[in-house]
């Protein structure tokens, strides 16, 4: 794909808090991030052309949402049920997330895809439900170390994108973000080399183009996740194919998360018309 043909897209930064924090520390983190990004802390406001979301544990969604007011950042959930209502103990529906003012939801995070062995059909059902709802979706894909070392990274990633989206009507590109998160880079401190991340993002974008069309592929944000820090974010986000990041550990500290969000500001000069 001709990179110069891509339209300006809004950089996207997600902070996935996973199963961390307690209520008081989650609220405090949300308040501090909100104050920093909104300019209430005295510094400059984050450029509003950057989309930022945080994904707290579901029991804290309401309190964290209240702590951030109208944002930034916006509120996201780490998972959703493929069902609407009923006898599904422990699950949380799209409608419930909507009641809590969640705007975003993660689908297919590797800690569910691999860690909990959620099969592709389940992830697809969740993706369908998310796309049918008012939620905006971050669909996560990525290969294991074994798959990368055996030369299967491309087929794995392409297969995950296809099994999630094949046959579905094209979502509005603003309503879906694809996160490339190589399993071997998550929580390990071993960040993918920007060349390798870009190559994987091109595989994803090529597949989106095959499933839909070139315009959809160019307009859809593909972000990188896996040991993103305040120190390596700028180098990653400088790459034309990397539209932002999905951040785990470094999103649990307000200063490092805010620094990562600000590293995305440099993209605006590159990608805006
Ligand atoms: P780390 O940034 O801690 O590697 O986690 C990445 C991730 O899984 C974000 O969803």
Residue 183 belongs to a domain: yes
CA 15 to ligand 1 center in whole angstroms: 8
- Tell me the pLDDT tens digit for each residue of 195-249: 999 999 999 999 999 999 999 999 999 999 999 999 999 999 999 999 999 999 9
Residue 28 sits in a domain of what CATH number?
3.20.20.70
Residue 4 belongs to a domain: no
Instruction: Encode 94-126: b = buried (16+ Cβ within 10 Å), e = exposed.
Output: bebbeebebbbbbbbbbbbbeeeebeeebbbbb
30 C-beta closer than 6 A to ligand 1: no
Q: What is the pLDDT of residue 168?
A: 94
Residue 14 belongs to a domain: yes
- pLDDT band for position 273 (50/70/90)? very low
79 C-beta closer than 6 A to ligand 1: no
Q: Quick one: CA dihedral 90, 94, 99, 104, positive or negative?
A: positive
The domain in which residue 145 lies consists of 9-267
Is the CB of residue 227 less than 8 Å from the CB of residue 253?
A: no
226 C-beta closer than 6 A to ligand 1: yes
Q: Which atom of ligand 1 is nearest to the CA of 250?
A: 2
Q: How far is it, in rounded angstroms, from Cα 230 to Cα 48?
A: 20
Residue 1 belongs to a domain: no
Q: Which atom of ligand 1 is nearest to the CA of 179?
A: 10
Number of domains in the chain: 1
Residue 228 belongs to a domain: yes
Residue 273 belongs to a domain: no
Is the CB of residue 260 less than 8 Å from the CB of residue 228?
A: yes
| R_g (Cα) of the chain, nearest Å | 17
Tokens of 257: 């998360």
Q: What is the pLDDT of residue 269?
A: 73
Q: Three-state SS across 34-79?
A: HHHHHCCCCCCCCCCCCEEEEECCHHHHHHHHHHHCCCCCEEEECC
- pLDDT band for position 156 (50/70/90)? very high
Q: Quick one: CA dihedral 117, 121, 125, 128, positive or negative?
A: positive
- Tell me the pLDDT tens digit for each residue of 44-101: 999 999 999 999 999 999 999 999 999 999 999 999 999 999 999 999 999 999 999 9
Residue 3 belongs to a domain: no
Residues labelled catalytic: 109, 181
Which among 107, 110, 246, 256 is the best mutation to test ligand 1's pocket, defined by most ligand atoms within 8 Å of the CB?
Answer: 246
CA 205 to ligand 1 center in whole angstroms: 21
Owner of token pair 């995305």: 264
Residue 2 belongs to a domain: no
């Amino acid at each position: 794909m001709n990179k110069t043909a891509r339209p300006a897209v809004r950089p996207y930064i997600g902070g996935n808090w996973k199963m961390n924090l307690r209520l008081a520390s989650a609220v405090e983190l949300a308040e501090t991030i909100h104050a920093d990004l909104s300019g209430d802390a005295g510094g400059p406001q984050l450029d509003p052309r950057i989309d930022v979301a945080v994904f707290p544990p579901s029991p804290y969604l309401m309190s964290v949402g209240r702590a951030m007011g109208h944002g930034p950042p916006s509120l996201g959930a780490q998972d959703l049920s493929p069902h609407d209502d009923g006898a599904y103990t422990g699950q949380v529906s799209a409608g419930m997330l909507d009641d809590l003012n969640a705007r975003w939801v993660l689908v297919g995070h590797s800690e569910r895809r691999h860690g909990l062995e959620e099969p592709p059909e389940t992830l697809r059902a969740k993706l369908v439900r998310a796309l049918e709802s008012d939620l905006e979706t971050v669909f996560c894909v990525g290969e294991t170390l074994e798959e990368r070392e055996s030369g299967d990274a491309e087929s794995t990633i392409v297969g995950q994108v296809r099994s999630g989206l094949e046959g579905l009507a094209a979502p509005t590109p603003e309503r879906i973000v694809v996160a490339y998160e190589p399993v071997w880079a998550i929580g390990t401190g071993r960040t993918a080399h920007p060349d390798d991340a870009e190559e994987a993002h091109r595989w994803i974008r090529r597949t989106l183009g095959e499933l839909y069309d070139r315009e959809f592929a160019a307009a859809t944000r593909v972000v990188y996740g896996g040991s993103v820090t305040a120190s390596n974010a700028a180098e990653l986000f400088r790459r034309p194919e990397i539209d932002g990041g999905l951040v785990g550990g470094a999103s649990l500290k307000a200063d490092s998360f805010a620094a990562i969000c600000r590293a995305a500001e440099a993209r605006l000069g590159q990608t805006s018309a």
